[in-house]
Amino acid sequence: MTGIETALFARLITLLPPGTAVFLHEMPQDATGPYVVFEVTERSDVRGTAPLSTLEVRVACYAPVHADSELLAGLGREGLEFWSSGAPGLILHPLAFAGQEGGYESEFGVYRSAVTFAAQAVQWAIV
């Protein structure tokens, strides 16, 4: 895990209800809900003469009951909004809400609700 992934993992574990498993990138085949899978994607582009860095954080929440997946996604969104505000803890700045989507994963029998945040030139720190 990168530094920011390690920090997000630690913060999500404390934010989510007890018994919610947290995984980076993908869940194991034998995972049972509720669980959260998060990803941090960073891309660099060169535009003109200056490099442009884009960071995207996606928190996908899975649960057998649709309302539970929505609740977990709401907690993930609240945490990312709190951390992007410069509040104590993990600071992700400037990170803005980029969207929410969901659906039913018939292969695993769970509902998915995911939130995505994105920003350019993100600064982060653990305080």
Residue 111's domain comprises 3-126
Cα 99 vs. chain centroid, distance in angstroms?
12
User: What is the number of structural domains in the chain?
Assistant: 1
| For residue 66, pLDDT beyond 90 | yes
Three-state DSSP class for residue 1? coil
pTM, to two decimals: 0.78
**Which H or E run includes 56?**
strand 50-63
Three-state DSSP class for residue 78? helix
Per the prediction, the chain carries an average pLDDT of 80
Residue 70 — pLDDT band, cuts 50, 70, 90?
very high
CATH number at residue 122: 3.30.2000.10
Name the residue among 89, 88, 90, 97 with its Cα closest to residue 115. Answer: 97
Residue 23 — pLDDT band, cuts 50, 70, 90?
very high
